[in-house]
Amino acid sequence: MTTKPVLLESREISKSFGSFLANDGINFNILEGEIHGLLGENGAGKSTFVKMVYGLLEPSNGTFYWNGKKIIIARPQEARNFGIGMVFQHFTLFPTLTVIENIQLALNDYFATHELRDTINKKSAEFGITVDPDIYIRDLSVGEQQRVEILRCLLQNPKLLIMDEPTSVLTPQESEQLFSVLKKLSKTGCSILFISHKLKEIKKITQRATILRRGCVVSTVETADVSTEQLAKMMVGSNPQNVKPKTAKKSGDILVRISGLNRPADNPFATALDNISLNVKAGEIKGIAGIAGNGQSELMEVLSGEWRSTENIDVFNVLGTDIRNYSPHKRRQLGVGFLPEERHGHSAVINMKLTENTLLTNHNNPVIQRNNIVKNENLEKLTTNIVDKYDVRTPFQNPHASSLSGGNLQKFVVGREIIKKPKVFFVAQPTWGVDIGATKSIRNSLIDLANDGCGIIVISQDLEELFELADNICVLFRGKLSDSKPLQELNSEKIGMLMGGEDLYSESQGH
């Protein structure tokens, strides 16, 4: 394998943003036809590095070599001229343009529409990626959108394809399809740089992997020679802390009872919720799996009370009280905690200080406020408590929420809710974009809460998370919620099928 020639090499590549060193002397090479993994936690500098390879960022220092020759990649157009294609983590598609227009935008040479249509059909047949060239991107699922991104790169006959966290938006089955496309592509001689923080994937499809930590290369390994545990250790720098066991007795008291929940879609991008029923017992963590865009945000709005209706919901009881008409504020007074997915602007106001953000969900606490006058001293004390207890790292005392990193802000907003000891807690994507260490501590605090008898609903796209946390899991697909199944009866393959819309039970009846 090492006899293959080197396609791209980087020597001492560094990138700094102000005083922050995002990449520090990266030495790296990728061989022709190789699938090479780039592994690291959030913020390890993976995206920064590949953005330099694709000409989106300019290195502060160091050089790239392409087939042994020194090159400067100043713009993405130049990268594409070399034969470098990139599939971004956050897609660079234009929802209100058609597939064909989106592809035209990424090609350096302009093709007439009808010519391009033929080329697209040919390429998509060759790699088994089917997509209708004349459909609008907004009408495609996330998996299909990714196929458009890939197709767009393939049309340029790339020599190097960069894939930034491609599986984070896919079902397990869709990931398998992606892997087979990538393998097919690498057989044609194309090199693939595969970025991920999922160890199993790296093990599964790459030949070699380079591990980054805090902007530095830790090591480059032959993936067949190392275990996932060794990879994890290199990535995190220490053995990650394990998640605590759940000890709560399932008392059988049903804390949350929802049935006959129908919510019509209120805009063309929304998903209608279709006859959802759901019960949560004391001490239970109910996991709701599903790919984003299948009704998660709509469901979360119903749970938090941002969307209310007595006509479209038959039953919504919490602790025996009918809360169908309760505002978020009244729900909080009842002992309900909730945390929407988007921390910037939804669960936290980023231009406000941490104390002010604390006040926003704690203002009915008599310790914080009496006769509508805020007691600043107690508010500061509570904020400091949250910061200390949930290990929120702040650059200085009481900063604005915007100056916290994503992971730290998430720890803060989770802590802010949990410290109130809610009796019922609804949370969406509790560890989205959070590094491994913080993820474990957030999950542990959710388990502590359940052990104290709180009923919890966790909406998450991260199956690993649900397997660690949940007692029972159901899947949201196109606004329908599958029956709740105990964790022991499920594996990722079964959930994956439900996430892709296959009903396990009607399927088995058919046979």
3-class state of residue 428 by DSSP: strand
Q: Which stretch binds another protein (CB under 8 A): 105-113, 202-210, 252-260, 290-298?
A: 105-113
In the chain, the amino acid numbered 428 is A
Binding mask 133-172 for another protein (x = CB under 8 A): -----x----------------------------------
**Contact (Cβ atoms closer than 8 angstroms) between residue 199 and residue 228:** yes
Query: Minimum Å distance from CB 324 to another protein?
Result: 26
Query: Minimum Å distance from CB 102 to another protein?
Result: 8
Query: Minimum Å distance from CB 77 to another protein?
Result: 5
**1, 72, 105, 367: which one contacts another protein (CB under 8 A)?**
105
Query: Minimum Å distance from CB 1 to another protein?
Result: 32
3-class state of residue 65 by DSSP: strand
Interface with another protein includes 19 (CB under 8 A)?
no
Q: Which stretch binds another protein (CB under 8 A): 85-93, 192-200, 241-249, 400-408?
A: 85-93
Q: What is the DSSP letter of 98?
A: B
Angstrom distance (rounded) from CA 212 to CA 202: 13
Q: What is the DSSP letter of 122?
A: H
**43, 76, 85, 133: which one contacts another protein (CB under 8 A)?**
76
Identity of the residue, 56 or 216, whose beta carbon is nearer to another protein in the bound complex: 56
Identity of the residue, 266 or 493, whose beta carbon is nearer to another protein in the bound complex: 266
Interface with another protein includes 396 (CB under 8 A)?
no
Interface with another protein includes 58 (CB under 8 A)?
yes
**57, 212, 382, 454: which one contacts another protein (CB under 8 A)?**
57
What 3 state SS string does 167-232 have? HHHCCHHHHHHHHHHHHHHHHCCCEEEEEECCHHHHHHHCCEEEEEECCEEEEEEEHHHCCHHHHH
Residue in 46, 433, 465 with CA at minimum distance from that of residue 235:
46
Query: Minimum Å distance from CB 136 to another protein?
Result: 8
**3, 238, 239, 267: which one contacts another protein (CB under 8 A)?**
267
Q: Which residues contact 462 (CB under 8 A, 6 or more apart)?
A: 429, 431, 432
Interface with another protein includes 127 (CB under 8 A)?
no
Interface with another protein includes 426 (CB under 8 A)?
no
Query: Minimum Å distance from CB 269 to another protein?
Result: 7
Identity of the residue, 146 or 175, whose beta carbon is nearer to another protein in the bound complex: 146
Residue in 455, 457, 442, 459 with CA at minimum distance from that of residue 386:
442
Q: What is the DSSP letter of 497?
A: H
Interface with another protein includes 96 (CB under 8 A)?
yes
**Contact (Cβ atoms closer than 8 angstroms) between residue 87 and residue 164:** yes
Identity of the residue, 105 or 315, whose beta carbon is nearer to another protein in the bound complex: 105
Interface with another protein includes 422 (CB under 8 A)?
no
Identity of the residue, 138 or 381, whose beta carbon is nearer to another protein in the bound complex: 138
Angstrom distance (rounded) from CA 150 to CA 188: 15
Interface with another protein includes 110 (CB under 8 A)?
yes
Q: Which residues contact 192 (CB under 8 A, 6 or more apart)?
A: 34, 35, 36, 160, 161, 162, 163, 182, 185, 186
Q: Which residues contact 478 (CB under 8 A, 6 or more apart)?
A: 271, 274, 294, 295, 501
**Contact (Cβ atoms closer than 8 angstroms) between residue 286 and residue 460:** no
**80, 197, 263, 324: which one contacts another protein (CB under 8 A)?**
80
Query: Minimum Å distance from CB 500 to another protein?
Result: 27
Phi-psi region of 398 (alpha: psi -120 to 50; beta: other; left: phi over 0): left
Interface with another protein includes 369 (CB under 8 A)?
no
Interface with another protein includes 440 (CB under 8 A)?
no
Q: Which stretch binds another protein (CB under 8 A): 51-59, 319-327, 389-397, 442-450?
A: 51-59
Which CA distances in Å does 240 have to 197, 245, 463? 14, 15, 18
3-class state of residue 259 by DSSP: strand
Interface with another protein includes 398 (CB under 8 A)?
no
Identity of the residue, 139 or 229, whose beta carbon is nearer to another protein in the bound complex: 139
Angstrom distance (rounded) from CA 277 to CA 434: 31
Residue in 129, 138, 130, 128 with CA at minimum distance from that of residue 101:
138
Identity of the residue, 72 or 367, whose beta carbon is nearer to another protein in the bound complex: 72
Q: How many positions of this chain bind another protein (CB under 8 A)?
A: 28
**Contact (Cβ atoms closer than 8 angstroms) between residue 244 and residue 298:** no
Applying CB under 8 A, the residues found at the interface with another protein are 17, 55-58, 75-77, 79-80, 88, 90-97, 101, 104-106, 110, 138, 267-269
